[in-house]
Copies of this chain bind each other. A is one copy, B any other.
Amino acid sequence: MIRIALDAMSGDFAPDELVKGAMLAVRTFEDVHLELFGDEERIQQLLTQPSDRISVVHTTEVITGDDEPTTAVRRKKDSSMVRAARSVKDGTNQAMVTAGNTGAALTAALATVGRIKGIKRPGLAPAFPTLTPGNKPVILLDAGANVDLDPAHLHQFAIIGSVYARDVMGIENPRVGLLNNGSEETKGNKQTKETYQLLKAEENINFVGNIEPTHLLTGDCDLLVADGFTGNIALKTMEGTVKNMMGFIKSTLSEGNLKTKIGGALIKDALKEAVGSLGEHEIGGAVFLGIDAPIIKGHGNSNDAAILNAIRQARTAVENDFVQKTRDYFA
């Protein structure tokens, strides 16, 4: 049995969508046991399909999106998030899923589970969809866990990200790209130039060179390495551009002349289907790589299907024992 802790009070639609996602997950995976941390009375009311593979642990506090991470984790000791993380540390559970405050989740993970020995900095690794057939995802590491990093940290990201891409995301011989302001080897700032040389010399990864931001959606790599500041800037720029453009196109079509309006109505579904997924911040959950257990961070607006996906990732991470593989590498 794979035992996963679920922070049931996390995200915009807690606990409803978390409980629904949990019920979906035990129906989908016969080998998963979920421990839900949160307001027991509310959770039990929502648990319309109880299962002997769903247990509930009552907690009295909630860490919100507005909470300052370090303070919140230190003070809210009986929060669903901190309790869930502690249950992974003490061995009750093997992985954790939360849709809550990203900074707090990282802080809680560091304070309880801790880093894998030899890893200097953990990073947040979401996957974003590209405009390739099947919207093949690119894993971005780091998307914002650490804003000030050295080339040595990025070098480690390339390695732990490759292990994750292969063993959890199922990508064979993952292509590693470096997010940079130009494609040539000589391009970049001090940090990316130095990182380029480290990645080029690293035999354990499949380094394909610099990735220019104009090529983020064309799927030129499977793992995109960046410091958390730059990665976050690129991810949010993509997200904002897609969202703002789609909104603009929709209003243009609905406010246009009759010809445009009719055309708009005819293409509505195709357009929605084609670019719908691009508006999302990420596919499934993001994982904190470098933490000594799989900690999956779902998007704040996760619905039951997104929670199911995050649980799937946690399950795959446990099953393939990718944390142990990372430990072995850095031992």
* Chain A interfacial positions (CB closer than 8 Å to B): 131, 144, 147-148, 179, 181, 188-190, 192, 212-218, 227-230, 232-234, 236-245, 247-249, 252-253, 256-257, 259-260, 262-271, 274-275, 278
Q: Is the interface of A mostly helix, strand, loop or mixed?
A: helix
A256 is contacted by which of B181, B234, B241, B270 (Cβ under 8 Å)? B270
* List of B residues within 8 angstroms of A230 by Cβ: 229-230, 233
* Nearest CB of chain B from residue A209's CB, rounded to whole Å: 16
* Nearest CB of chain B from residue A85's CB, rounded to whole Å: 23
| B189 with A245: CB separation less than 8 A | no
| B244 with A245: CB separation less than 8 A | no
With contacts A217-B241, A252-B274 known, is A236 near B212, CB below 8 A?
A: yes
* List of B residues within 8 angstroms of A278 by Cβ: 245
* List of B residues within 8 angstroms of A228 by Cβ: 181
| B189 with A214: CB separation less than 8 A | no
A229 is contacted by which of B189, B263, B264 (Cβ under 8 Å)? B189
| B216 with A181: CB separation less than 8 A | no
* Nearest CB of chain B from residue A243's CB, rounded to whole Å: 7
| A214 with B243: CB separation less than 8 A | yes
